[in-house]
Chains A and B, each alone.
Chain A
Amino acid sequence: MGMTVTEKILARHAGLEQVEPGQLINAKVDIVLGNDITAPVAIKEFEKLGVNRVFDRDRVVLVPDHFTPNKDIKSAEQAKLLRDFAKRHELTNYFEVGRMGIEHCLLPEQGLALPGFVMVGADSHTCTYGAVGAFATGVGSTDMAAAMATGEAWFKVPESIKFVINGKLQPWVSGKDLILYLIGKIGVDGALYCSMEFAGEAIANLSMDSRLTMANMAIEAGAKNGIFPVDEITHQYLKGRAKWDYQPEYSDSDAIYKEVFEIDAADIDPQVAFPHLPENARAVGNAGEVHIDQVVIGSCTNGRMEDLRAAASVLKGRTVHPGVRAIVIPGTQEIYKQAMQEGLFDIFIDAGAVVSTPTCGPCLGGHMGILAQGERCISTTNRNFVGRMGDPRSEVYLSNPAVAAASAVAGRIISPEELGVKEAAVNA
């Protein structure tokens, strides 16, 4: 019987010939990840296990990215727990402020996310690494603790749902719009416990940055993981980065899917997800008159070069609306430097936007742009839950970076097209 790519990766890591959906397995993991919110709890649990070493000091990755550079004393203490643990266990992949980035931008960039890998992270957006053909999924802190000790984790093999996106993308449509459109179609629990597998012509032509954006938001449909076929774009991206050899897996032609969706890319406009769920997606043209107070361009969803270039191409020679605060947050130090060298910071700063050091910051209502009661923000992040970016009575709208940038100029939610900007090639 044929297997999907997810089933094959899990079978190999469980030492089995064959697995099927619903089966509970114990699998070896290639990477275990934690951040400054989840790792402190994991470290406490790890110490209860009575082991004195992590399973592999090269494969436990710690990234203090959420409340860093430390926003207050309590978060400084949390970050210190990570730092001390990394030192004690001589971890080779601990990323200090100044060398770090938002974890899900950082790991692929550092070549730590590879095809055929099983990766667990105590962060729900660990599913991002499916973009390079890894099976990657978010777990909790206790899972992380057990995995750090044993190099293994338990999984229920998920059913797979296939999304075939045919045709060519419309102007200003990126990975963000595809995934918002899909979540709008199937709902925030539309892929609950399942694997989302992407395929089709539009996917084959999609840039790595856009693939990372799409896989990132698989969890917003309730999915266990999102996964892309490994192709030339993947190999090109990994060239010179991959830290280890890798062995990609591919879905069999007779693999079994719970459901297959066929979608024509021509039907997909740039999207905006209205408060307070990512499934409230609609075409930007149907947004109506939504005035905004803040714009955030960044996060593990859209803090990469393609995203910053798209935002800059809209902001170039324009200015941020006087009633709007625009905050740009490059995802990693490397992205920060590259954007600076390309002159994007000049564009942002001349437009009246602020450029921040890499951090999760406002994405989860941490710092660097918290909303007051009644304020509205359009953001390139992945969640618009009640209170996500600040006061429970504030609102977050989700979009791609070009729409966010155009909205920053207009002071209300609009498309770059409405602003009269033509799309240039910005793919990374």
Chain B
Amino acid sequence: MLKGKVWRFGEDVDTDAIIPARYLNTSDPAELAKHCMEDADPSFAGVVQAGDIIVAGKNFGCGSSREHAPIAIKEAGVSCVIAKSFARIFFRNSINIGLPILECEAAAQALEQGDEVEVDLDTGVIRNLTRGGEYKAAPFPEFMQELIAAGGLIAYTRRKVSSNA
């Protein structure tokens, strides 16, 4: 069960806003986290608390394939991202590195900045503890659940290559 405060962002939040390319001369997660969401909200990285939740509109994470984007979000302490929809590379990157993401239009619309929210990743149920309301995100297909349960693509692949050997 995840619990945290909501940070609201708009629609089409791109990966340049999540982690600007001027910081991509490193892949150190701690360095990247310092600049997380900088071009959308320069104060975010300094004040976000462990467990907090990003809520956004459609097409979150559009733009580049940089895995640095979900890495920066995860390393900044964000426990999950809820959006109306995700750009596809961001979606697969998040699954692959184990950043929980939930596609839920109703929650993306209703949740407000600062709301205290509880998320059950097993059932996809999102509860607003501040103002009430309960929403259900679309469940992941079985294969993706397997990937997540294995601990991401690397752990999953390691198992596969060692059983082939």
B66 adjacent to A38 (CB under 8 Å): yes
A42, closest chain B residue (CB): B67
**A38 B67 Cβ-Cβ under 8 A:** yes
**A residues 360-382 with Cβ under 8 Å of B?**
364-366
| Pair A74/B65 contact, Cβ less than 8 Å | no
Residue from B17, B93, B162 in contact with A140 in the complex, judged by beta carbons closer than 8 Å: B93
Given contacts A277-B12, A364-B21, A388-B16, contact A142 B67 (CB under 8 A): yes
Q: Indicate whether B128 reaches chain A with its CB closer than 8 angstroms.
A: no
Which residue of B25, B68, B161 is within 8 Å of A72 (Cβ)? B25
Do the beta carbons of B59 and A392 come within 8 Å of each other?
Answer: no
**Cross-chain contact of B96 among A67, A140, A219 (Cβ < 8 A):** A140
A192 & B68 in contact (Cβ 8 Å cutoff): no
- Which residue on chain A has the smallest CB distance to residue B161? A51
Q: B67 touching A41 by the CB < 8 A rule?
A: yes
Chain A residues in 8 Å Cβ range of B26: 74, 78
Beta-carbon contact of A48 and B16 below 8 Å: no
Bin the interface of chain A by size: 35 or more
- Are A140 and B25 in contact (CB-based, < 8 A)? no
Q: Does B132 contact A (CB under 8 A)?
A: no
- From A92-100, A143-151, A309-317, give the one contacting chain B: A143-151
Number of interface residues, chain B, beta carbon within 8 A: 42
Contact between chains at B154 and A122 (CB < 8 Å): no
- The answer on a CB contact under 8 Å between A149 and B65 is no
B89 an interface residue at 8 Å Cβ cutoff?
Answer: yes
Per-residue contact bits, chain B 1-34, to A (CB 8 Å; 1 contact, 0 not): 0000000000010101100111011110000000
Say yes or no: is B121 at the interface (Cβ < 8 Å to chain A): no
Q: Is B36 an interface residue (CB 8 A)?
A: no
Question: Is B63 engaged at the interface, CB distance under 8 Å to the other chain?
Answer: yes
From residue A144, how far is it (CB to closest CB) to chain B in Å? 9
B87 on the A face (CB < 8 A): yes
Binary contact track A91-133/B, C-beta < 8 Å → 1, others 0: 0000000000000000000000000000001111010000000
8 A Cβ contacts from A158-212 to B: 188-189, 192-193
A188 touches B12 (CB 8 A): yes
Assess the A74–B25 pair: CB atoms within 8 A. yes
Q: Does A141 contact B (CB under 8 A)?
A: yes
Please state if B59 and A192 are interface contacts (CB–CB under 8 Å): yes
CA distance A98 to B80 in the complex (A): 43
Question: Are B65 and A139 within 8 A (Cβ)?
Answer: yes
Give which listed residue, B17, B97, B141, contacts A387 with CB less than 8 A: B17
Q: How far is the CA of A328 from the CA of B144 in the complex (A)?
A: 44
The digit string for B55-94, where 1 denotes a CB below 8 A from any CB of A, is: 0001100111111100100000000000001011100110
Known: A74-B26, A78-B25. Contact between A142 and B161, CB under 8 A? no
The chain B residue sitting closest to A39, CB to CB, is B27
Cross-chain contact B65 with A122 (CB below 8 angstroms): yes
> Whole-angstrom distance between the alpha carbons of A156 and B147 in the complex?
14
Other 11 A-B pairs with CB < 8 A, given A24-B143, A121-B65, A138-B65: A50-B161, A71-B25, A124-B65, A138-B89, A139-B65, A142-B93, A145-B154, A146-B153, A222-B87, A383-B14, A386-B40
